[in-house]
Amino acid sequence: MSGSKILVTGGAGFIGSHLCRRLVADGHDVLCADSLFTGTKDNIADLMGNKNFEFLRHDIVTPLCVEVDQIYNLACPASPIHYQFNPVHTTKTSVNGTINMLGLARRTKARILQASTSEVYGDPEIHPQPESYWGRVNPVGPRACYDEGKRCAETLFFDYHRQHKLQIKVVRIFNTYGPNMHPNDGRVVSNFIVQALQGQDLTIYGDGSQTRSFQYVDDLVAGLLAMMASPAEFTGPVNIGNPDEFTMKQLAEKVLTLIPESKSKLVYRPLPQDDPKQRQPDIRLAKEKLNWAPKIKLEEGLRKTVDYFRRTLK
Ligand code: NAD
Ligand code: UDP
Protein backbone atom coordinates (compact mmCIF):
# COMPACT_ATOMS: atom_id res chain seq x y z
CA MET A 1 0.00 0.00 0.00
CA SER A 2 1.71 3.25 -1.11
CA GLY A 3 0.84 6.60 0.44
CA SER A 4 1.03 5.44 4.07
CA LYS A 5 2.25 7.79 6.79
CA ILE A 6 5.29 6.03 8.20
CA LEU A 7 7.42 6.94 11.20
CA VAL A 8 11.02 5.70 11.17
CA THR A 9 12.79 6.26 14.49
CA GLY A 10 16.55 6.26 14.09
CA GLY A 11 15.99 7.17 10.43
CA ALA A 12 19.17 9.23 10.13
CA GLY A 13 21.34 6.26 11.13
CA PHE A 14 22.98 3.68 8.92
CA ILE A 15 20.06 1.28 8.40
CA GLY A 16 17.34 3.89 8.97
CA SER A 17 18.60 6.12 6.16
CA HIS A 18 18.41 3.24 3.64
CA LEU A 19 14.93 2.34 4.88
CA CYS A 20 13.68 5.96 4.63
CA ARG A 21 15.03 6.25 1.08
CA ARG A 22 13.30 3.04 0.02
CA LEU A 23 9.98 4.01 1.66
CA VAL A 24 10.00 7.45 -0.01
CA ALA A 25 10.82 5.79 -3.36
CA ASP A 26 7.84 3.48 -2.83
CA GLY A 27 5.54 6.52 -2.53
CA HIS A 28 5.11 6.76 1.25
CA ASP A 29 5.04 9.83 3.42
CA VAL A 30 7.98 9.38 5.80
CA LEU A 31 8.67 11.06 9.12
CA CYS A 32 12.20 10.41 10.35
CA ALA A 33 12.64 11.02 14.09
CA ASP A 34 16.23 10.88 15.25
CA SER A 35 18.26 12.38 18.11
CA LEU A 36 21.36 12.46 15.85
CA PHE A 37 23.34 10.70 18.58
CA THR A 38 25.02 8.42 16.03
CA GLY A 39 23.07 9.33 12.89
CA THR A 40 23.83 12.33 10.69
CA LYS A 41 21.95 14.69 8.41
CA ASP A 42 24.46 13.72 5.70
CA ASN A 43 22.89 10.25 5.61
CA ILE A 44 19.53 11.76 4.61
CA ALA A 45 20.75 14.89 2.78
CA ASP A 46 19.31 13.72 -0.54
CA LEU A 47 15.86 13.26 1.03
CA MET A 48 15.67 16.61 2.78
CA GLY A 49 13.98 18.55 -0.06
CA ASN A 50 11.53 15.75 -0.88
CA LYS A 51 7.89 16.61 -0.13
CA ASN A 52 7.30 13.06 1.11
CA PHE A 53 10.09 13.26 3.70
CA GLU A 54 10.29 15.13 7.00
CA PHE A 55 13.06 15.12 9.59
CA LEU A 56 12.42 15.72 13.27
CA ARG A 57 15.23 15.93 15.82
CA HIS A 58 13.71 13.95 18.66
CA ASP A 59 14.86 11.55 21.39
CA ILE A 60 12.34 8.70 21.72
CA VAL A 61 12.92 8.59 25.48
CA THR A 62 10.49 11.57 25.38
CA PRO A 63 6.94 10.82 24.13
CA LEU A 64 6.05 11.81 20.57
CA CYS A 65 2.58 12.81 19.44
CA VAL A 66 2.07 12.36 15.68
CA GLU A 67 -0.44 10.62 13.41
CA VAL A 68 0.95 7.57 11.60
CA ASP A 69 -0.10 4.29 9.98
CA GLN A 70 3.14 2.38 10.53
CA ILE A 71 6.17 2.67 12.81
CA TYR A 72 9.64 1.21 12.28
CA ASN A 73 11.40 1.51 15.65
CA LEU A 74 15.11 1.58 14.82
CA ALA A 75 16.32 4.24 17.27
CA CYS A 76 19.18 2.85 19.37
CA PRO A 77 22.95 3.08 19.02
CA ALA A 78 24.11 -0.24 17.58
CA SER A 79 27.88 -0.34 17.82
CA PRO A 80 29.50 -1.41 21.09
CA ILE A 81 31.49 1.83 21.55
CA HIS A 82 28.41 3.95 21.02
CA TYR A 83 25.96 1.94 23.11
CA GLN A 84 28.51 1.70 25.94
CA PHE A 85 29.23 5.47 25.85
CA ASN A 86 26.09 6.24 27.90
CA PRO A 87 24.79 2.78 28.87
CA VAL A 88 21.95 4.13 31.03
CA HIS A 89 20.62 6.09 28.07
CA THR A 90 20.95 2.99 25.86
CA THR A 91 18.70 1.04 28.23
CA LYS A 92 16.30 4.00 28.46
CA THR A 93 16.12 4.12 24.66
CA SER A 94 15.18 0.44 24.40
CA VAL A 95 12.81 0.44 27.40
CA ASN A 96 11.31 3.92 27.91
CA GLY A 97 11.69 4.76 24.21
CA THR A 98 9.98 1.52 23.17
CA ILE A 99 7.13 2.12 25.65
CA ASN A 100 6.65 5.56 24.08
CA MET A 101 6.55 4.12 20.56
CA LEU A 102 4.19 1.31 21.60
CA GLY A 103 1.96 3.91 23.26
CA LEU A 104 1.95 5.90 20.03
CA ALA A 105 1.08 2.75 18.05
CA ARG A 106 -1.74 1.99 20.47
CA ARG A 107 -3.29 5.45 20.16
CA THR A 108 -2.94 5.64 16.37
CA LYS A 109 -3.65 1.90 15.78
CA ALA A 110 -0.43 1.79 13.76
CA ARG A 111 1.37 -1.44 12.95
CA ILE A 112 4.79 -1.32 14.66
CA LEU A 113 8.05 -3.11 13.84
CA GLN A 114 10.91 -3.48 16.28
CA ALA A 115 14.54 -3.61 15.13
CA SER A 116 15.69 -6.29 17.53
CA THR A 117 19.03 -8.00 17.28
CA SER A 118 20.95 -11.25 17.20
CA GLU A 119 22.47 -9.97 20.48
CA VAL A 120 19.36 -11.30 22.24
CA TYR A 121 21.05 -14.70 21.77
CA GLY A 122 24.19 -13.42 23.57
CA ASP A 123 27.15 -15.78 23.30
CA PRO A 124 25.11 -18.72 21.94
CA GLU A 125 25.48 -22.43 22.76
CA ILE A 126 23.31 -23.35 19.76
CA HIS A 127 24.57 -22.88 16.24
CA PRO A 128 23.10 -21.57 13.98
CA GLN A 129 20.58 -19.68 16.11
CA PRO A 130 16.85 -20.37 15.53
CA GLU A 131 14.21 -17.99 16.90
CA SER A 132 13.20 -20.63 19.46
CA TYR A 133 16.59 -20.34 21.23
CA TRP A 134 16.31 -18.19 24.38
CA GLY A 135 19.91 -17.04 24.41
CA ARG A 136 22.84 -16.73 26.80
CA VAL A 137 23.29 -13.11 27.83
CA ASN A 138 25.37 -11.79 30.73
CA PRO A 139 22.88 -9.46 32.45
CA VAL A 140 25.54 -7.44 34.28
CA GLY A 141 28.32 -7.14 31.66
CA PRO A 142 29.24 -4.16 29.47
CA ARG A 143 27.05 -5.36 26.58
CA ALA A 144 23.99 -5.83 28.80
CA CYS A 145 22.65 -2.27 28.36
CA TYR A 146 22.14 -3.15 24.70
CA ASP A 147 21.35 -6.88 24.88
CA GLU A 148 19.02 -6.76 27.87
CA GLY A 149 17.47 -3.51 26.66
CA LYS A 150 16.61 -5.18 23.35
CA ARG A 151 15.32 -8.29 25.15
CA CYS A 152 13.08 -6.11 27.31
CA ALA A 153 11.87 -4.26 24.19
CA GLU A 154 10.79 -7.63 22.74
CA THR A 155 8.97 -8.41 26.01
CA LEU A 156 7.16 -5.06 25.80
CA PHE A 157 6.16 -5.71 22.19
CA PHE A 158 4.63 -9.07 23.05
CA ASP A 159 2.87 -7.76 26.17
CA TYR A 160 1.34 -4.85 24.22
CA HIS A 161 0.25 -7.40 21.63
CA ARG A 162 -1.34 -9.72 24.22
CA GLN A 163 -2.73 -6.97 26.46
CA HIS A 164 -3.72 -4.27 23.96
CA LYS A 165 -4.03 -6.25 20.71
CA LEU A 166 -1.35 -4.20 18.99
CA GLN A 167 -0.17 -5.35 15.55
CA ILE A 168 3.49 -6.08 16.20
CA LYS A 169 6.42 -7.24 14.09
CA VAL A 170 9.71 -8.23 15.73
CA VAL A 171 12.80 -8.67 13.55
CA ARG A 172 16.10 -9.98 14.92
CA ILE A 173 18.72 -8.34 12.74
CA PHE A 174 22.11 -10.03 12.34
CA ASN A 175 25.33 -8.09 11.58
CA THR A 176 24.58 -5.70 8.74
CA TYR A 177 26.95 -3.49 6.79
CA GLY A 178 27.00 -1.09 3.84
CA PRO A 179 27.22 2.56 2.84
CA ASN A 180 26.30 5.16 5.51
CA MET A 181 27.97 3.23 8.33
CA HIS A 182 29.67 5.70 10.60
CA PRO A 183 33.42 5.57 9.79
CA ASN A 184 34.37 5.66 13.49
CA ASP A 185 31.66 3.57 15.07
CA GLY A 186 34.02 0.70 15.75
CA ARG A 187 32.09 -2.04 13.97
CA VAL A 188 34.31 -4.52 12.27
CA VAL A 189 33.42 -4.00 8.59
CA SER A 190 33.76 -0.22 8.69
CA ASN A 191 36.86 -0.44 10.90
CA PHE A 192 38.69 -2.78 8.52
CA ILE A 193 37.76 -0.82 5.37
CA VAL A 194 38.61 2.56 6.87
CA GLN A 195 41.89 1.22 8.27
CA ALA A 196 42.86 -0.33 4.94
CA LEU A 197 42.03 2.85 3.00
CA GLN A 198 43.95 5.01 5.46
CA GLY A 199 47.00 2.75 5.52
CA GLN A 200 46.55 1.78 9.17
CA ASP A 201 46.93 -1.81 10.30
CA LEU A 202 43.70 -3.83 10.56
CA THR A 203 42.90 -4.48 14.24
CA ILE A 204 41.81 -8.05 14.84
CA TYR A 205 40.42 -8.55 18.34
CA GLY A 206 41.46 -11.84 19.94
CA ASP A 207 42.95 -14.42 17.58
CA GLY A 208 40.45 -13.62 14.81
CA SER A 209 38.81 -17.05 14.93
CA GLN A 210 35.45 -15.70 16.19
CA THR A 211 32.79 -15.71 13.48
CA ARG A 212 30.02 -13.44 12.27
CA SER A 213 27.60 -13.65 9.32
CA PHE A 214 27.37 -10.37 7.44
CA GLN A 215 24.35 -9.15 5.54
CA TYR A 216 24.34 -6.28 3.06
CA VAL A 217 21.94 -3.50 4.01
CA ASP A 218 19.74 -3.78 0.88
CA ASP A 219 18.90 -7.39 1.80
CA LEU A 220 17.92 -6.27 5.29
CA VAL A 221 15.68 -3.47 4.01
CA ALA A 222 13.90 -5.99 1.76
CA GLY A 223 13.39 -8.21 4.82
CA LEU A 224 12.04 -5.33 6.95
CA LEU A 225 9.52 -4.38 4.24
CA ALA A 226 8.44 -8.00 3.78
CA MET A 227 7.93 -8.37 7.52
CA MET A 228 5.90 -5.16 7.81
CA ALA A 229 3.69 -6.33 4.91
CA SER A 230 3.21 -9.87 6.22
CA PRO A 231 -0.16 -11.11 7.58
CA ALA A 232 -1.09 -9.68 11.01
CA GLU A 233 -0.92 -13.06 12.73
CA PHE A 234 2.80 -13.37 11.98
CA THR A 235 4.40 -11.34 14.77
CA GLY A 236 7.87 -12.88 14.67
CA PRO A 237 10.40 -12.82 16.18
CA VAL A 238 12.06 -13.59 12.89
CA ASN A 239 15.79 -13.68 12.09
CA ILE A 240 16.90 -11.54 9.16
CA GLY A 241 20.53 -12.11 8.27
CA ASN A 242 22.90 -13.74 5.85
CA PRO A 243 23.96 -17.25 6.95
CA ASP A 244 27.35 -17.10 5.15
CA GLU A 245 29.73 -17.20 8.11
CA PHE A 246 33.31 -15.91 8.23
CA THR A 247 36.04 -15.58 10.83
CA MET A 248 37.29 -12.05 11.51
CA LYS A 249 40.64 -13.06 10.07
CA GLN A 250 38.97 -14.13 6.81
CA LEU A 251 37.06 -10.86 6.72
CA ALA A 252 40.27 -8.84 7.16
CA GLU A 253 41.96 -10.77 4.36
CA LYS A 254 38.97 -10.23 2.05
CA VAL A 255 39.00 -6.50 2.71
CA LEU A 256 42.70 -6.32 1.87
CA THR A 257 42.19 -8.11 -1.44
CA LEU A 258 39.54 -5.51 -2.37
CA ILE A 259 41.91 -2.63 -1.59
CA PRO A 260 45.04 -3.90 -3.39
CA GLU A 261 46.93 -0.62 -3.03
CA SER A 262 46.75 -0.85 0.78
CA LYS A 263 49.98 -1.50 2.65
CA SER A 264 48.12 -2.38 5.87
CA LYS A 265 48.94 -5.51 7.83
CA LEU A 266 46.93 -7.47 10.40
CA VAL A 267 47.57 -6.68 14.08
CA TYR A 268 46.07 -8.46 17.06
CA ARG A 269 44.38 -6.68 20.00
CA PRO A 270 42.69 -8.03 23.16
CA LEU A 271 39.23 -9.53 22.71
CA PRO A 272 36.55 -7.33 24.36
CA GLN A 273 34.67 -8.82 27.34
CA ASP A 274 31.63 -11.01 26.47
CA ASP A 275 32.43 -10.91 22.74
CA PRO A 276 30.33 -13.73 21.19
CA LYS A 277 32.49 -16.50 19.68
CA GLN A 278 30.17 -17.37 16.81
CA ARG A 279 27.02 -16.15 15.18
CA GLN A 280 24.97 -17.41 12.26
CA PRO A 281 21.26 -16.95 11.65
CA ASP A 282 18.91 -19.83 11.02
CA ILE A 283 16.67 -18.17 8.39
CA ARG A 284 14.23 -20.99 7.69
CA LEU A 285 11.36 -19.05 9.27
CA ALA A 286 12.00 -15.93 7.13
CA LYS A 287 12.13 -18.10 4.02
CA GLU A 288 8.89 -19.86 4.89
CA LYS A 289 6.83 -16.92 6.17
CA LEU A 290 8.23 -14.01 4.17
CA ASN A 291 9.63 -15.78 1.11
CA TRP A 292 12.78 -13.81 1.90
CA ALA A 293 16.43 -14.77 1.53
CA PRO A 294 19.54 -12.60 1.19
CA LYS A 295 20.83 -12.10 -2.36
CA ILE A 296 24.07 -10.20 -1.99
CA LYS A 297 27.31 -12.09 -1.43
CA LEU A 298 29.91 -10.69 0.97
CA GLU A 299 32.37 -9.79 -1.76
CA GLU A 300 29.80 -7.81 -3.77
CA GLY A 301 28.56 -5.96 -0.68
CA LEU A 302 32.09 -5.22 0.49
CA ARG A 303 32.92 -3.75 -2.94
CA LYS A 304 29.96 -1.34 -2.70
CA THR A 305 30.96 -0.41 0.85
CA VAL A 306 34.59 0.15 -0.12
CA ASP A 307 33.39 2.41 -2.99
CA TYR A 308 31.31 4.40 -0.51
CA PHE A 309 34.19 4.94 1.90
CA ARG A 310 36.55 5.82 -0.97
CA ARG A 311 34.09 8.59 -1.96
CA THR A 312 33.34 9.93 1.51
CA LEU A 313 36.48 9.59 3.65
CA LYS A 314 38.28 12.88 4.11
P1 NAD B 1 23.05 3.58 13.94
O2 NAD B 1 23.75 3.91 15.21
O3 NAD B 1 23.68 3.99 12.67
O4 NAD B 1 21.57 4.14 13.94
C5 NAD B 1 20.81 4.33 15.10
C6 NAD B 1 20.06 5.65 14.94
O7 NAD B 1 19.26 5.85 16.11
C8 NAD B 1 21.02 6.85 14.86
O9 NAD B 1 20.62 7.70 13.83
C10 NAD B 1 20.87 7.50 16.24
O11 NAD B 1 21.14 8.91 16.19
C12 NAD B 1 19.45 7.17 16.58
N13 NAD B 1 19.17 7.17 18.02
C14 NAD B 1 19.88 6.55 19.00
N15 NAD B 1 19.26 6.72 20.18
C16 NAD B 1 18.15 7.46 19.94
C17 NAD B 1 17.10 7.96 20.75
N18 NAD B 1 17.07 7.75 22.07
N19 NAD B 1 16.11 8.68 20.15
C20 NAD B 1 16.12 8.92 18.82
N21 NAD B 1 17.09 8.49 18.01
C22 NAD B 1 18.09 7.75 18.57
O23 NAD B 1 22.79 2.00 13.96
P24 NAD B 1 22.18 1.03 12.87
O25 NAD B 1 23.19 0.02 12.56
O26 NAD B 1 21.56 1.80 11.77
O27 NAD B 1 21.04 0.31 13.72
C28 NAD B 1 19.66 0.63 13.59
C29 NAD B 1 18.85 -0.34 14.44
O30 NAD B 1 19.07 -1.67 14.01
C31 NAD B 1 19.21 -0.28 15.92
O32 NAD B 1 18.04 -0.40 16.69
C33 NAD B 1 20.08 -1.51 16.10
O34 NAD B 1 20.00 -2.00 17.41
C35 NAD B 1 19.48 -2.47 15.10
N36 NAD B 1 20.47 -3.48 14.68
C37 NAD B 1 21.51 -3.17 13.86
C38 NAD B 1 22.43 -4.14 13.50
C39 NAD B 1 23.59 -3.86 12.58
O40 NAD B 1 24.37 -4.75 12.31
N41 NAD B 1 23.75 -2.68 12.04
C42 NAD B 1 22.29 -5.44 14.01
C43 NAD B 1 21.24 -5.71 14.86
C44 NAD B 1 20.31 -4.75 15.18
N1 UDP C 1 36.30 -6.77 15.76
C2 UDP C 1 37.62 -6.86 15.36
N3 UDP C 1 38.27 -5.71 15.03
C4 UDP C 1 37.67 -4.50 15.03
C5 UDP C 1 36.30 -4.41 15.42
C6 UDP C 1 35.65 -5.58 15.79
O7 UDP C 1 38.21 -7.95 15.33
O8 UDP C 1 38.34 -3.50 14.69
C9 UDP C 1 35.58 -8.02 16.10
C10 UDP C 1 34.79 -7.99 17.40
O11 UDP C 1 35.60 -8.33 18.50
C12 UDP C 1 33.72 -9.02 17.12
C13 UDP C 1 33.48 -8.90 15.61
O14 UDP C 1 34.62 -8.24 15.09
O15 UDP C 1 34.20 -10.31 17.41
C16 UDP C 1 32.23 -8.12 15.25
O17 UDP C 1 32.26 -6.89 15.95
P18 UDP C 1 31.17 -5.77 15.74
O19 UDP C 1 31.39 -4.74 16.80
O20 UDP C 1 31.16 -5.32 14.34
O21 UDP C 1 29.78 -6.52 15.96
P22 UDP C 1 29.20 -7.43 17.16
O23 UDP C 1 30.30 -7.86 18.07
O24 UDP C 1 28.22 -6.54 17.84
O25 UDP C 1 28.61 -8.57 16.45
Task: Indicate which residue's Cα is closest to atom 23 of ligand 1.
Answer: 78
Ligand 2 pocket mutation, candidates 182, 185, 187, criterion most atoms within 8 A of CB: 187
Q: Which ligand is nearest to the CA of 177?
A: 1
Task: Tell me the average pLDDT across 212-228.
Answer: 98
Give the tens place of pLDDT for each residue, 158-174: 999 999 999 999 999 99
185 band by pLDDT with thresholds 50, 70 and 90: confident
Instruction: Name all residues whose Cβ lies below 6 A of ligand 1.
Output: 9-10, 12-16, 34-39, 59-61, 74-78, 93, 97, 115, 117, 173, 175-176, 182
Note the pLDDT of residue 181.
Answer: 96
Note the pLDDT of residue 119.
Answer: 96
Note the pLDDT of residue 3.
Answer: 87
Catalytic residue among 146, 160, 177, 216: 146
1 band by pLDDT with thresholds 50, 70 and 90: low
Q: How far is the CA of 4 from the centre of ligand 2 (A)?
A: 37
Q: Which ligand is nearest to the CA of 204?
A: 2
Q: Is 146 a catalytic residue?
A: yes
CATH superfamily of 5-177+216-241+280-294: NAD(P)-binding Rossmann-like Domain (3.40.50.720)
Note the pLDDT of residue 2.
Answer: 73
Note the pLDDT of residue 197.
Answer: 97
Task: Tell me the average pLDDT across 94-109.
Answer: 98
Pick from 76, 8, 72, 71: nearest CA to 44:
8
Give the tens place of pLDDT for each residue, 123-168: 999 999 999 999 999 999 999 999 999 999 999 999 999 999 999 9
- Mean pLDDT of all residues belonging to the chain: 97
Q: Locate the domains of the chain by residue range.
A: 5-177+216-241+280-294
Task: Tell me the average pLDDT across 272-300.
Answer: 95
Give the tens place of pLDDT for each residue, 221-270: 999 999 999 999 999 999 999 999 999 999 999 999 999 999 999 999 99
Q: How far is the CA of 65 from the centre of ligand 2 (A)?
A: 37
Task: Tell me the average pLDDT across 47-62.
Answer: 97
Task: Indicate which residue's Cα is closest to atom 4 of ligand 1.
Answer: 13
Note the pLDDT of residue 274.
Answer: 85
- Percentage of the chain surpassing pLDDT 70? 100
Task: Tell me the average pLDDT across 24-45.
Answer: 97
Note the pLDDT of residue 93.
Answer: 98
Task: Indicate which residue's Cα is closest to atom 11 of ligand 2.
Answer: 205
Note the pLDDT of residue 190.
Answer: 97
